[in-house]
């Protein structure tokens, strides 16, 4: 399953940090973050609870870039 989320991030380097953090989150199969469109596209692993995984993605993104936001 794939979903798209609106994000708020200050720069392209920060967006890259968010993408890397999201990809390392359990339950995420793949992720791309676009600074230009302010979107995060997440592909979830089979059987993963998207809402639970996204809470973890948000937490992990905040660890690497504390002023970013993922709107779930």
**What's the rounded Cα separation, in Å, for the pair 47 and 35?**
29
Phi, then psi, of 24 in degrees rounded to 5: -85, -5
pLDDT tens digits, 18-38: 999 999 999 999 999 999 999
Give the pLDDT of residue 16: 96
**Quick one: pLDDT band at residue 11, thresholds 50, 70, 90?**
very high
Q: What is the pLDDT of residue 49?
A: 96
Q: Can you give the pTM of this predicted structure?
A: 0.93
- CATH of the domain spanning 2-71, picked from 3.30.70.100, 2.60.40.10, 3.30.2310.20, 3.30.505.10: 3.30.70.100
Contact status, residue 5 vs residue 40, Cβ threshold 8 Å: yes
Strand duo 2-8 + 39-44: pairing: antiparallel
For residue 26, what pLDDT is reported? 97
Parallel, antiparallel, or unpaired for β 69-71 and 28-34? unpaired
> Residues 6 or more apart from 72 whose CB is under 8 A from it?
5, 51, 54, 55, 58
């Amino acid at each position: 399953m794939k979903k798209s989320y609106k994000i708020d991030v200050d720069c392209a380097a920060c967006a890259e940090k968010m993408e890397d953090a999201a990809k390392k989150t359990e339950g995420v199969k793949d992720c791309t973050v676009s600074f230009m469109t302010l979107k995060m596209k997440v592909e979830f692993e089979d059987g993963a609870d998207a809402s639970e995984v996204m809470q973890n993605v948000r937490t992990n993104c905040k660890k690497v870039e504390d002023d970013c936001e993922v709107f779930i």
